[in-house]
Amino acid sequence: MQEQDALYRLLDAALKLNRIQDEQELLKEILKTSRQIMQVKASSLTLINPATAKPCYFWTLGEEGPLDEETGLAKICRSAAYRAAKNGKPLMISGAGARRQSPGRRGGGKTQSCACHGKNKNCAAGDVLCVPMKTEQKILGVIAAAGKLSGKFNLADQRLFMAFAAQAGLALENARRYGADFFDPLTGIYGQKFFDSFVERELARAQRYGDDFSLAVIGIDYLRQIYDNYGFEAGDFALSRSIDLVKSSIRTSDILARRGDDAVALFLPTASLEQAEALTERIRIKIQNHNFALNEQSLAVTASVGVTSFKTCQPSNIKNLMESALEALGEAGSSGGNKTVCARLKKTAAVKGPRAH
């Protein structure tokens, strides 16, 4: 009877996932449905960047909504998911990280203890089961189920979760055919929809706690002329190589995404406007001085940069924030390009500090 109920849940989940074509909505549904189908306290989702084959975009959903990435449960899920992504096989952590083993294998496993040793109530209360989302031997990501509501995970749970992950992987691949929401296919960096979703979360955090962050838009000057004069190969080369120079200059915690045809957006957590200006000016100079040589042809490539920050712009939403950066970028471009311009301080009430508790 239990197996029959599980099959009904799986069928219902497959039908629901395959009806969703928007990638963001699909990922939210995968998280929500994985909790329901596995009957657990929380689920997590980790995506694999197709350009680097490394894990990225980690999100955990609990009984009351998204969990902070610093909770014990989120950390355990992330650690297990990264290991499952690397091995491409199911993985289970038993007793909130007290023991890691593959379901169905006897003995021989190394142990991995959670730092809180079970004392943190936000840590996983039970097992964590991770399974890769695969299509044609390509791993798209990893789904994790944590804290089974009744009993412990077993082989039947593993088979059910693997079947769900296969359906989720197919739905995700189909959704990606309708648009590059999360990754830009040319450059391998994040897409605009992912960037907007990420920045919205960080904006809400900054509005609550008063922390600063910066956002820059870096545009390649006269990129359309490079395409027109030298062809698509040269234009793509100028854009991709410029993005490589940006990537080599930023931290792993910084978020870089494609923005339009000739620009990228760069989110800099905890960076002030002055720090962001210094960094982006170094990037601008690096692009200016780089030798863009293609097929014995040297291309003259420069960039313009518009920079803003949370405390400078004091935005109420992501649209205000982006408009501030784009206005600064437009000023840089209209004055000849190859320049970094910062947004001006908005003359309104001061940014509120952390809420009193």
Distance of CA 18 to the CA centre of its chain: 22
The residue behind tokens 């990225």 is: 56
User: Between the CA of residue 204 and those of 60, 301, 343, what are the distances in Å?
Assistant: 17, 36, 21
- The CATH number of 2-176, from 3.40.50.11290, 3.30.450.20, 3.30.450.40, 3.20.20.140, is 3.30.450.40
Residue 331 pLDDT grade (very low, low, confident, very high; cuts 50, 70, 90): very high
* Cβ proximity of 216 and 246 under 8 Å: no
Residue 179 pLDDT grade (very low, low, confident, very high; cuts 50, 70, 90): low
The yes-or-no verdict on residue 100 having pLDDT over 80 is: no
Q: Across residues 296-319, what is the average pLDDT?
A: 95
Report pLDDT digits (tens) over 12-47: 888 788 778 778 888 889 999 999 889 898 888 988
Q: What is the residue extent of each domain of the chain?
A: 2-176, 192-342
Residue 355 pLDDT grade (very low, low, confident, very high; cuts 50, 70, 90): very low
Report pLDDT digits (tens) over 220-251: 999 999 999 999 999 999 999 999 999 999 98
Q: With pLDDT > 70 as the criterion, what percentage of the chain qualifies? A: 82
As a whole number of Å, the CA-based R_g of the chain is 23
Provide the pLDDT for residue 63.
Answer: 72
* Cβ proximity of 245 and 291 under 8 Å: no
Q: Across residues 344-357, what is the average pLDDT?
A: 50
Provide the pLDDT for residue 178.
Answer: 64
Whether the domain at 2-176 and the domain at 192-342 fall into the same CATH topology: no
Q: Across residues 106-127, what is the average pLDDT?
A: 43
The yes-or-no verdict on residue 273 having pLDDT over 90 is: yes
Phi, psi for residue 345 in degrees, rounded to 5: -65, 130
Residue 181 pLDDT grade (very low, low, confident, very high; cuts 50, 70, 90): low
Q: Across residues 273-296, what is the average pLDDT?
A: 96
The Cα 6–Cα 37 span in angstroms is: 7
Name the 3-class secondary structure at 108: coil
Query: Could you please report the per-residue DSSP string of 175-238?
Result: HHTT--SSB-TTT-SB-HHHHHHHHHHHHHHHHHH---EEEEEEEETTHHHHHHHH-HHHHHHH
Pairwise pLDDT comparison (335 vs 151), residue with the higher score: 335
The yes-or-no verdict on residue 148 having pLDDT over 50 is: yes
* Cβ proximity of 339 and 251 under 8 Å: no
Instruction: Quote the tokens at residue 47.
Output: 């995506």
The Cα 4–Cα 9 span in angstroms is: 9
Residue 290 pLDDT grade (very low, low, confident, very high; cuts 50, 70, 90): very high
Provide the pLDDT for residue 101.
Answer: 40
- Domain 192-342 bears CATH identifier 3.40.50.2300: no
Paired sense of beta strands 303-309 and 213-220, if any: antiparallel
What amino acid occupies position 131? V
In the predicted model, what is the mean pLDDT of the chain? 82
The yes-or-no verdict on residue 352 having pLDDT over 60 is: no
The Cα 187–Cα 212 span in angstroms is: 29
The yes-or-no verdict on residue 125 having pLDDT over 50 is: no
Q: Which of 105-114, 120-129, 155-164 has the lowest mean pLDDT?
A: 105-114
Residue 357 pLDDT grade (very low, low, confident, very high; cuts 50, 70, 90): very low
Name the 3-class secondary structure at 129: strand
The yes-or-no verdict on residue 62 having pLDDT over 60 is: yes
Residue 346 pLDDT grade (very low, low, confident, very high; cuts 50, 70, 90): low
The yes-or-no verdict on residue 161 having pLDDT over 60 is: yes
The Cα 206–Cα 319 span in angstroms is: 15
Q: What is the separation, in whole angstroms, between the first and last Cα of the chain? A: 49
